[in-house]
Structure 1
């Protein structure tokens, strides 16, 4: 298995993404649940950012996503690059 970072392998990252998608599906229709905010706070950017493709970005309201992440207690640095997104 390929290593994604020192602590997680590809299988673990895939599972982390699966858990995050399941916990955060409510965001499509409203606000994040406490479970979603937890997943946002513990997510490893090394697992999440590689799947942020230009095709996916076309469906994402980036400013709203940033507000959600920050509202869940996770800092989003200025000019942070995550996949095909670079924060303002």
Structure 2
């Protein structure tokens, strides 16, 4: 069970980092239920990336439309610790998806190198 939870947390961080790549998106008020749905859709669309696959067009699309304020609050120190070893790989995946990440941007407990 711990492995499944770790994978879900890693996936949430991956989604958060993808979203950071589109951080210039205009921030609008989003309801908690809308945020929950955005996280669910993004998690489902990007799940294969956690297992080493390339981001699908659906995953990249979800990343482009997900509000950063829905994801970054969930990047806890525990989640950051699980994914820090793969941060460079995740950054490469984000770039493969056509997004850039601002250096030193902080999203939850992760700071982009």
**Normalising by the residue count of structure 2, what TM-score does the alignment of the two structures yield?**
0.68
Aligned counterpart in structure 2 of residue 28 of structure 1, from 17, 31, 50: 50
- Computed over aligned residues only, the root mean square deviation of the Cα atoms, in angstroms, reads 1.3
4+ runs of 1 displaced by more than 4 Å? none
Q: Report how many aligned residue pairs link the two structures.
A: 84
Q: Deviations over 1:15-62 (max 9, x none)?
A: 000000000000022211111111112221111111011111122111
Q: Unpaired runs of 5+ in structure 2?
A: 1-26
Matches within 5 A, 1:1-88: 6-29=28-51, 30-60=53-83, 61-88=86-113
Q: Unpaired runs of 5+ in structure 1?
A: none
**Normalising by the residue count of structure 1, what TM-score does the alignment of the two structures yield?**
0.85
Structure 1 or 2: more helix by fraction: 2
